[in-house]
Amino acid sequence: TKNTTNETLLKELSEIDRLHHIHPSTNPKFHRDNGPKLVFKEGKGIYLYDLKGEEYIDGVSMLWNVNLGHGNKELAEAAYEQMSSIAYASAFYGYANESTARLAKKVASLTPGDLNTVFFTSGGSESNDTAFKLSRFYWELKGYKNKKKIISLRRGYHGVTVAAQRATGIEVYRNFSGSLDPNIVNAKPHLTECEQGDKNHPEYEGSIHSIIEKEGAENIAAVIMEPIQGAGGVHIPPEGYLEAVRKLCSENNIHLILDEVICGFGRTGKMFGADNWNIVPDLITFAKGITSGYSQLGGVAMTDEIGNTIAQYDGMLPHGFTYSGHPTACAVGLKNIEILERDNLVQHAVEMGEVLRQGFEYLEGKYSFFTKGRNVGLLGGFDLMRSPEENIPFEESVKAAVTLVDECFQRNLLIRPFDFEPGMNIVAVAPPLIIEKDEVEKIIAIIDDSLKALSNKI
């Protein structure tokens, strides 16, 4: 029968995987000792099914990327069609193809301001490394030979390639071998007054403003940040912050790179996170949501000033990935954006975000330890604290966020905990943009039950 076949298959796959696969962002010893947590079989909409036959709600769109949800046949067909005509064509040496060319134009039309030129990669980390290189290259071409430093934010997440990992301001990621680039400096996040130039502010030291003063604008190529910090714990910038940083960068001849890897392509209820603040950065890095994860694609969009300057370089651009502008990935990207627009999913994210907000509000009223429920569109999160009024966190031993997420897992909801700093207990909720009202309510109901279970343990 179907079930016994799955049982055998589950055993076989678990054993193969346990012995032969080092998983990303996973405890390797735990995996070698215990095997995979589950083995996925298929997905449909917001639901995932494993080989045991369990149905899970994908409450964070896997890695905040499966924005159109699982099992989308239109995306699969777009990939099939492209693969059947020409699956792969290099973009090196000036070779072009229809899907890649059309997607470059489409992205250019969607990005804010005059970010009309695109360089493609296969993911977020590659995009950020590329943005650092292109920014430095631009300054070199303009005669600024020393503009090499990059300022990023503590708690920011930009990926795990050597440069991107150094920019990542989360300690556990920074201590891994090889992740040291002395030209990248982490600043304190989200200090609006400091970035506006208030040098008497108690937190001024370590702000972007103070680092520019210390290092000298002539040595700084770019500032990079996410519009809303994702893997750092869903931190929405305070009012006026992004505007202040934009102004600071402009005044000092420093590029502002917005890492839109999570926010881009509708997640926050706008096409790009930047659109929530009407900010126009100099470069945007994107990945994840452009294909809803159906194919590996990322890229960097840049202003006419940068694009046209680089376009005047009369030599070989010494940068490019085998999969830069991968036709199949680009065909999927085009179809993904077509569906986003056709089905009004960006606006839908605003409406579902409102349902999520109401859910958080309800939970905040019900549990004293549930606090700071927040979201922009369908990028949401909340904190768990012993006493929010007195700003007292849970004791480490309680492992509040991990325990809650575990309770949710037992109730077949997949969401994500963050506790990489002492006292931090944050949980992220970021379901696919195609989610419907009753499904958001189902997520809230499961979190509600799980909070109840947690309250008996703390």
Nearer to ligand PLP, 59 or 124 (CB): 124
Of 1-9, 73-81, 86-94, 123-131, the window that binds ligand PLP (rule: CB under 6 A) is 123-131
Of 117-125, 367-375, 382-390, 447-455, the window that binds ligand PLP (rule: CB under 6 A) is 117-125
Nearer to ligand PLP, 235 or 246 (CB): 235
Q: CA 446 to CA 458: how far, in whole Å? A: 18
Q: Which of 50, 181, 195, 259 binds ligand PLP (CB under 6 A)?
A: 259
Q: CA 249 to CA 426: how far, in whole Å? A: 31
Of 153-161, 215-223, 411-419, 426-434, the window that binds ligand PLP (rule: CB under 6 A) is 153-161
Nearer to ligand PLP, 231 or 424 (CB): 231
For residue 405, what are its two tokens?
């997420």
Q: Which of 13, 38, 39, 63 binds ligand PLP (CB under 6 A)?
A: 63
Q: Which of 56, 157, 241, 277 binds ligand PLP (CB under 6 A)?
A: 157
Rounded to 5 degrees, φ, ψ at 372 are: 55, 40
Question: Counting contacts by CB under 6 A, is residue 67 touching ligand PLP?
Answer: no
Question: Counting contacts by CB under 6 A, is residue 132 touching ligand PLP?
Answer: no
Residue 153 beta carbon to ligand PLP: minimum distance, rounded to whole angstroms: 11
Question: Counting contacts by CB under 6 A, is residue 191 touching ligand PLP?
Answer: no
Rounded to the nearest angstrom, the gap between the alpha carbon of residue 375 and the centroid of all alpha carbons in its chain is: 14
Nearer to ligand PLP, 51 or 231 (CB): 231
Nearer to ligand PLP, 204 or 277 (CB): 277
Residues 6+ apart with CB under 8 A from 377: 266, 267, 268, 269, 270, 349, 350, 352, 353
Q: Which of 287, 300, 356, 401 binds ligand PLP (CB under 6 A)?
A: 287
Question: Counting contacts by CB under 6 A, is residue 158 touching ligand PLP?
Answer: yes
Residue 305: exposure state from Cβ atoms within 10 A (0-12, 13-18, ≥19) = middle
For residue 77, what are its two tokens?
């067909």
Question: Counting contacts by CB under 6 A, is residue 381 touching ligand PLP?
Answer: no
Question: Counting contacts by CB under 6 A, is residue 273 touching ligand PLP?
Answer: no
Residue 236 beta carbon to ligand PLP: minimum distance, rounded to whole angstroms: 14
Three-state DSSP string of 315-351: CCCCCCCCCCCCHHHHHHHHHHHHHHHHCCHHHHHHH
Q: Tell me if 363 sits within 8 A of 348, measured CB to CB.
A: no
Dmax (CA) for the chain in angstroms is 72
Question: Counting contacts by CB under 6 A, is residue 125 touching ligand PLP?
Answer: yes
Q: Tell me if 29 sits within 8 A of 253, measured CB to CB.
A: no
Question: Counting contacts by CB under 6 A, is residue 124 touching ligand PLP?
Answer: yes
Question: Counting contacts by CB under 6 A, is residue 235 touching ligand PLP?
Answer: no
For residue 428, what are its two tokens?
């992220």
3-state secondary structure of 247: helix
Selection from 236, 238, 258 nearest residue 246 by Cα: 258
Residue 165 beta carbon to ligand PLP: minimum distance, rounded to whole angstroms: 10
Residue 191 beta carbon to ligand PLP: minimum distance, rounded to whole angstroms: 20
Residues in the interface with ligand PLP (CB under 6 A) total 15
Neighbours of 15 (CB within 10 A): 12
Rounded to 5 degrees, φ, ψ at 153 are: -105, 145
Nearer to ligand PLP, 35 or 281 (CB): 281
Residue 231 beta carbon to ligand PLP: minimum distance, rounded to whole angstroms: 5
Q: Are strands 40-44 and 184-187 parallel, antiparallel or unpaired?
A: unpaired
Question: Counting contacts by CB under 6 A, is residue 280 touching ligand PLP?
Answer: no
3-state secondary structure of 101: helix
Residue 442 beta carbon to ligand PLP: minimum distance, rounded to whole angstroms: 25
Question: Counting contacts by CB under 6 A, is residue 223 touching ligand PLP?
Answer: no
SS3 content of the chain, % helix, strand, coil (to 5): 45, 15, 40
Nearer to ligand PLP, 157 or 418 (CB): 157
Question: Counting contacts by CB under 6 A, is residue 162 touching ligand PLP?
Answer: no
Question: Counting contacts by CB under 6 A, is residue 261 touching ligand PLP?
Answer: yes
Question: Counting contacts by CB under 6 A, is residue 299 touching ligand PLP?
Answer: no
Q: Which of 191, 262, 334, 337 binds ligand PLP (CB under 6 A)?
A: 262
Nearer to ligand PLP, 104 or 170 (CB): 170
Q: Tell me if 219 sits within 8 A of 149, measured CB to CB.
A: yes
Q: Which of 123, 359, 373, 381 binds ligand PLP (CB under 6 A)?
A: 123
Beta-sheet strands, E only, within 55-157: 55-58, 115-121, 149-153
What's the CA angle centered on 62, arms 58 and 66, to 5 degrees?
Answer: 90
Rounded to the nearest angstrom, the gap between the alpha carbon of residue 65 and the centroid of all alpha carbons in its chain is: 8
Q: Calculate the alpha carbon distances from 3 to 8, 43, 49, 50 in Å.
A: 9, 18, 13, 12
Contacts to ligand PLP by CB under 6 A: 63, 123-125, 128, 157-159, 226, 230-231, 259, 261-262, 287
